[in-house]
Every structure is written in C-alpha cells, then in structure tokens.
Amino acid sequence: MGAVYFYHLTDTPLDQTLPMLVGKAKGAGWRILVRGRTQAILERLDRVLWQGPPASFLPHGLAGGADDASQPLLLGTDVTADGFDCLMSVDGAPLTPEEVGLSQRACILFDGYDEAALQHARGQWKMLTDAGCEAQYWAQDMGSWTKKAENKGS
C-alpha cells in the first residue's frame, strides 16, 4: 500500500510547489495524475507547466485527449487512478483509500491560508488514516519542508 503525503502550502503557492513535486515524482520514474475539482484549475496548472524552463520541461496533457493513456503526467477532474504511480490532489479533489493503496505515493496539496481548504484537508487526513492509510503531514517552514506528523497506518 502506498502512502499519502499532505503538503500544507504557506511559503510557496501551488503554481510553484506542484512543478517541484511533479519533477521529483518524474525523477522516481512514476506516471503521475494531477486531479483537480475544476477544469479551470487544471487549465491554469497546464499553462504553468508549459511555462517552466526548457531544461526542466515536464511533458503532460489535459485529460480528454487521444493520447491520455501515454501521457507521463495527466491533469484531469474525473480520471481513474488506475495505471498511475503517483496521484496528486489539488484544490480539494477527492482521493480514496483504495487509490492510495494502488499508488506508490499520493499527495494532497492545500492552501494554508484558506480556512475551508485546511478543514477539508483535515477531513481527508481523518478519512484516509481511519481507513488504514499511511500518512505524512508536511508544512513549509521558512522555505523548507518539515515533517510535522506521521501515521503509520494499520
């Protein structure tokens, strides 16, 4: 069973954090799904990923195209997690314990200055850990990531 990592964003916004985390997942050789709640957020992230420096380009696509099955990084709202090694939930997108179990890693990225996002992430933590998922909670601390909590699952 994979583990789910919660990323509490306070020092850098999603537009900066997501490419960094996707780059690490790509470096591990993983196929990645970024799941958002709305097409608008995914289209914004698509533009962000296209604007990165050429040396760190992350090949990707928006779900719904003819090449979805071959995309190393796919952005979608209702794409099933089957076939992906790493799942990333942004903007409160759902993630199930079964999906965590099928992945090498799942990530939940949330805005630390948005009270609704904080409450939603707390609910996701409880639901996933109650279901037996291993979980880690990471927070930004003056520019670096610090692990603040860990649940070993069951």
Distance CA 128, CA 122 (A): 10
Give me the mean pLDDT over the 79-95 stretch: 95
86: which 2 tokens?
């790493």
Q: What's residue 142's pLDDT?
A: 85
Taking 90 as the threshold, does the pLDDT of residue 76 lie above it?
yes
- What tens digit of pLDDT does each residue of 125-143 get? 999 999 999 999 999 988 8
Give me the mean pLDDT over the 89-115 stretch: 96
pLDDT tier for residue 88 given thresholds of 50, 70 and 90: very high
Distance CA 38, CA 22 (A): 19
Taking 90 as the threshold, does the pLDDT of residue 55 lie above it?
no
Q: What ranges do the domains of the chain cover? A: 3-151
Q: Are strands 134-141 and 144-151 parallel, antiparallel or unpaired?
A: antiparallel
Taking 90 as the threshold, does the pLDDT of residue 94 lie above it?
yes
The DSSP code for 149 is: E
Q: What's residue 1's pLDDT?
A: 62
Q: At the top level of CATH, which class does the domain 3-151 belong to?
A: alpha beta
